[in-house]
Structure 1
């Protein structure tokens, strides 16, 4: 096939070192192989040939459409990294199957969740973002991206979620049917048993002892009071959790590069910056429909939906903030857009107190004051530092006392009978701190150790999946929480987890599980197959990150096959490579070539390896899902009838 002009313009550098591949390279390629096989078994076990899931005949309530997407979304991410070609079509078929099935259950409408919060939208629509990375983009991808974004930009009359004048998302509960101001008992029906063990949403619910830390949602009288009070105080107006919607709009920008998407993300972040200034530096968690802080909550800036008090506290404040700030930097190149997340980390740190020789920070704000003091979590500062490479963000990481071994690698533990003390695999992203240690030069054995741990995790998950409890025909139609949560079952059984591959090959931490885009320093394309991901037999290791450079080692473990891999500057091509220096084992430069491109083609003969130190300018390109080849299918969207 003849090369296009676009391909000819990509600089090429040739590997010149032949040596026995390092152990990590063999392990990495073996892990790809095991994950490909595990993905095939997982799909065969839990889906029908049409892509629908083997599950219940019905499912009530507003919860649930996010969970099947979460269970299968890693198929697309694995393909993007270099998984088998079969995963591409498979991941798309299953997305369609889930969307159809949950439409029949009554929760999805127009291919988008009818109504729920942006903690759960954020979890489920990671699948859509991963499909964007698993290009080339299809007409369906682009059509959905535009339609979904319109629901949150005030452009969709059927889904009036956004007040364009006040730059305000009108409810914590939104979706394709618009804001949901009045929740019903049926909406929360599947949560009642789970929420019995959670803190009460309010401190004045009749018949509930707030100090006990529990609220009996399964009690009909309490349940009725909770729903009524939520509708009175929580369901109207904006909350920080809605900042996760910036991911959906940024996703549309990555498809279309239209200014309106960029501006919406920047404007919506800016309005939360203003609200935070009005509130003295701490972000408020509830803003009424007129834009007034605490409008339906007796003027209190705390106590909103998924806010400072209920149910998770600081987690659901800092995560959407971090996501939105990183999205804003991606679209603007302005590192100052990280400041709102930075300042909330700083405010939280200022509220710390010493207890039993440890520094703890508050996670919740009650009417009586700050509460739920715990050790600070450094991972959010790690996300900011990975993007900024700024000393101030590094200091935010390193000011947190190391009260445990940050080099320790964590995988879920399947032993033990107490569900609360067992680590499960839902949202399993466990090793941001050890990766940070490695990329800072303080954990040299990390690549091999995290790959070993990933092998163990896949083995554990396959054992669980193949067990009697993992047989979908044995699952009960009841809502009981016997061994595994009925709605989280696919995450619990999924063996397709590859935190090690994301960290080592892309040079970044795994995305934030509640709606974060997969930001990283590089990604790869197979130049011969013209598809995303590392070519077969090629292993990659990002060994060093600096503000103006990245160091990558590429190894072709095959002694028979020639490979050609294209490295892209940034997950979304947001950076530009300046020069590429080929280094020997001692780190000495052998050859340097000019690049001045967001792509670099690396030629790897059989058995060859190369270490490249590539200088770069970061966040200077308009980010996109574009691949290194022209896309003849990138045409205008379909237009429907006007009735």
Structure 2
């Protein structure tokens, strides 16, 4: 992979065609404006001037810090897309505030979760990844990225989470205090009421009827047995969920370009590939400290933490695997790195059955065999296809029966007054399928439809946030001391949702919510303000993707202001533009300009627009958080005392 020098002159073209702004462009700019205002109102309502959150005085257990990070992480993502310049500093202040506050609660140590699993680490550290995109990179960003990665590469002697010889993460519960081999009843105290309605983690817990599909965590005797059995069977050794740690180590590479981080990601993925081979093609969900599959589980390859049996099954197998495979492609450009995720999708599909007239695939494996058959989820092969653009991945999508209109846009709706109905915006990523249809040319109305739906969602969230139920000073009355589900409240009240903007402007689906980097085909910088994001009054729409090109429409909606935008090839500059064509040319020979750079500046005088076809070589540049302007402190790191 090559690198591009920011000092090298960035190619430049200018739009000449006067346009009446199309409705999608006006709605896109309206949405950005509404999101800006909503962000400031959200921050004003739920945070103190020092960036801490208005909330309870204590928080027990090991769970928790991921949820406030998730509630506010979109401040950084909105800024990266083109939100208000004030969001940059605000996002950083709130990250610092949350980190300090949850350190005081006891969950965070050395600015990183003391110990928890990589579903929740994956969710919370999205905020850190988004701050990397919300440049310019700060010394703190770079220092933290290296320090956090060191907790999983074996370099941090206070957090020996990784066995470099066996290439395994030593526990399903890990963090800045190292692997957590022994869990306490206090560690899980915040989950007891919630998990009463979940499947039991084991089939032989005394006093629990596994077939009932429920497990009484609130029962003290049952609870003591669960913790004992977890410590015997689940806390030692590696699990597929830990593949989400590849995002943290890739994040360090994006800051530093150090080869050791690339090597760690590739080695760790290869270790899981070998375990899968040893297991006959199905990825095992528990590997002991010796590297033996099923070492603490009577030799069973199923039954590990967040594995094939408990609690979610296939979802928490395929998501971290997809994340790790995509991170490996980003770091190498080699599409074969997707093969382990592809293989698991194929193995799962091969187990399909027809039930009640529908094709379903198993999500879980019990001692009696495969079970919990559900409809196949198309979003995972969509992620792979968006990266590979390969026919084989397209076939993995097309084989899934369309049991509903894939063009339909989904907006989460509130219904009733029960607290559970208020939780339908947590992890809101709802329209991967209709975007996929659009980018294939099968859903032409999608841009306007999804933008309208996004405006509706913001309006709905503002209404909820402004209600009495949204007043943080009323939460003491709404939630009892043991109602720990209140930890999700910021996500439920957050109005900063922008799935439409990510899809339409960047040309990619939203990140996987449990730890995925925001992969996409392009991103933007304001050439005059020298900051990330679309310049004010500029609207962008990615209309088509191929393996060799991206088709993009840019519109300056202002009749009074000239703007200049820099387009970057790939979220992380991993691609290289070759040529750019103006598609609006009326003659037979489209106007072409050579680019041969990962950046292209487009000048858009007032009231102009341009439809551009950009040819490209994909995954040929070393990915990074570099902006188009030189960073004098790139690579600078502080060193502590050696004794």
Q: Which TM bucket (shorter chain)?
A: over 0.9
> In the alignment, what sits opposite 2:498?
498
> In the alignment, what sits opposite 1:122?
122
Distance 1:635 1:341 in 2: 33
| CA offset digits 1:343-383 (Å, max 9, x no partner) | 00000000000012110000000001111100000000000
> In the alignment, what sits opposite 2:73?
73
- Give the CA deviation at 1:481: 9.9
Give the alignment of 1:308-457 within 5 angstroms. 308-417=308-417, 424-457=424-457
Distance 2:122 2:245 in 1: 8
Distance 1:243 1:326 in 2: 11
Q: Indicate conservation of the 8 Å contact 2:142/2:637, yes or no.
A: yes
> In the alignment, what sits opposite 2:545?
545
Q: Indicate conservation of the 8 Å contact 1:333/1:620, yes or no.
A: yes
- Give the CA deviation at 1:415: 1.6
Distance 1:370 1:632 in 2: 56
Q: Indicate conservation of the 8 Å contact 1:544/1:551, yes or no.
A: yes
Distance 1:118 1:382 in 2: 23
> In the alignment, what sits opposite 2:590?
590
Distance 1:484 1:468 in 2: 20
Q: What is the DSSP-based 3-state SS (H/G/I as helix, E as strand, rest coil) of the residue aligned with 1:590?
A: coil
Give the alignment of 1:171-250 within 5 angstroms. 171-250=171-250
> In the alignment, what sits opposite 1:302?
302
**TM-score calculated relative to the size of structure 2:** 0.98
> In the alignment, what sits opposite 2:638?
638
Call closer, same or farther: CA 1:149–1:478 in 2, change over 3 Å: farther
| CA offset digits 1:215-257 (Å, max 9, x no partner) | 0000000000000000000000000000000000000000000
**TM-score calculated relative to the size of structure 1:** 0.98
> In the alignment, what sits opposite 2:527?
527
> In the alignment, what sits opposite 2:148?
148
Distance 2:402 2:359 in 1: 10
> In the alignment, what sits opposite 1:13?
13
Call closer, same or farther: CA 1:436–1:97 in 2, change over 3 Å: same
Distance 1:483 1:458 in 2: 27
Q: What is the DSSP-based 3-state SS (H/G/I as helix, E as strand, rest coil) of the residue aligned with 1:584?
A: coil
Give the alignment of 1:589-628 within 5 angstroms. 590-628=590-628
> In the alignment, what sits opposite 1:254?
254
> In the alignment, what sits opposite 1:109?
109
User: Structure 2: which 5+ residue stretches go unaligned?
Assistant: none
Distance 2:13 2:251 in 1: 32
- Give the CA deviation at 1:16: 1.6
Q: What is the DSSP-based 3-state SS (H/G/I as helix, E as strand, rest coil) of the residue aligned with 1:488?
A: helix
Distance 1:8 1:121 in 2: 38
- Give the CA deviation at 1:587: 10
Q: Indicate conservation of the 8 Å contact 1:413/1:423, yes or no.
A: no
User: Structure 1: which 5+ residue stretches go unaligned?
Assistant: none
- Give the CA deviation at 1:19: 1.5
- Give the CA deviation at 1:485: 3.0
Distance 1:9 1:123 in 2: 38
| CA offset digits 1:319-359 (Å, max 9, x no partner) | 00000000000001100000000000000000000012110
- 1:507 is aligned to 2:507: yes
| CA offset digits 1:94-123 (Å, max 9, x no partner) | 000000000000110000000000000000
| CA offset digits 1:176-202 (Å, max 9, x no partner) | 000000000000001000000000000
Q: Indicate conservation of the 8 Å contact 2:329/2:337, yes or no.
A: yes
Distance 1:29 1:435 in 2: 19
Call closer, same or farther: CA 1:616–1:587 in 2, change over 3 Å: farther
Q: Indicate conservation of the 8 Å contact 2:415/2:421, yes or no.
A: no
- Give the CA deviation at 1:482: 11
Distance 1:172 1:545 in 2: 38
Q: Indicate conservation of the 8 Å contact 2:17/2:610, yes or no.
A: yes
Distance 1:586 1:479 in 2: 64
Call closer, same or farther: CA 1:72–1:56 in 2, change over 3 Å: same
Q: Indicate conservation of the 8 Å contact 2:585/2:591, yes or no.
A: no
Q: Indicate conservation of the 8 Å contact 1:504/1:542, yes or no.
A: yes
- 1:168 is aligned to 2:168: yes
- 1:43 is aligned to 2:43: yes
Call closer, same or farther: CA 1:227–1:587 in 2, change over 3 Å: farther
Q: Indicate conservation of the 8 Å contact 1:582/1:589, yes or no.
A: no
> In the alignment, what sits opposite 2:277?
277
Q: What is the DSSP-based 3-state SS (H/G/I as helix, E as strand, rest coil) of the residue aligned with 2:152?
A: coil
Q: What is the DSSP-based 3-state SS (H/G/I as helix, E as strand, rest coil) of the residue aligned with 1:319?
A: helix
> In the alignment, what sits opposite 1:82?
82
Q: Indicate conservation of the 8 Å contact 1:577/1:598, yes or no.
A: yes
Between the two proteins, the alignment pairs up a number of residues equal to: 639
> In the alignment, what sits opposite 2:489?
489
Distance 2:618 2:99 in 1: 37
Q: Indicate conservation of the 8 Å contact 2:171/2:238, yes or no.
A: yes
Q: Indicate conservation of the 8 Å contact 1:168/1:238, yes or no.
A: yes
Q: Indicate conservation of the 8 Å contact 1:56/1:477, yes or no.
A: no
